[in-house]
Amino acid sequence: MNLILIFLLALILILIMTAKFKIHPFLSLITVSLFVAILAAKPFDGLESILTGMRRVIYHLAIIIVCGSIIGSLVIPVEHISLRNQANKE
């Protein structure tokens, strides 16, 4: 089956499951991802493929969290300075 057709079918199925049947988005995504895997005939390599995918996601999330905390720590002193200036003006 064509992968673009599978993608469009999956997108429509996710929208129908979440909007019409009010199924939780996480459950609809898991269900549709299994459906896509079956239709695309992807081989299942066992637990190793799942762990590899989770490792990649956690790695990228860790980078985002670290960058966000660095930016947050840089913004906090600027916010305190602007609050002090506003308090002094009043």
Measured in whole angstroms, the distance separating CA 65 from the mean position of its chain's CA atoms is 13
Read off the pTM. Answer: 0.51
Domain residue spans of the chain = 1-42, 45-90
Q: Could you tell me if 25 and 18 are in contact, meaning their C-beta atoms sit under 8 angstroms apart?
A: yes
Residue 88, pLDDT score: 60
Find where tokens 């506003």 sit.
86
pLDDT in tens, the chain (90 residues): 688 999 999 999 999 999 999 999 999 999 998 899 888 887 777 778 778 888 888 998 999 999 988 888 887 766 566 555 565 665
Report yes or no: 35 and 13 within 8 Å, Cβ to Cβ.
Answer: yes
Q: Give the C-alpha separation, 37 to 16, whole Å.
A: 19
Predicted confidence at residue 37, as pLDDT, reads 84
Task: Check: CB of residue 40 under 8 Å from CB of residue 7.
Answer: no
> How far apart, in whole angstroms, are the C-alpha atoms of residue 74 and residue 90?
26
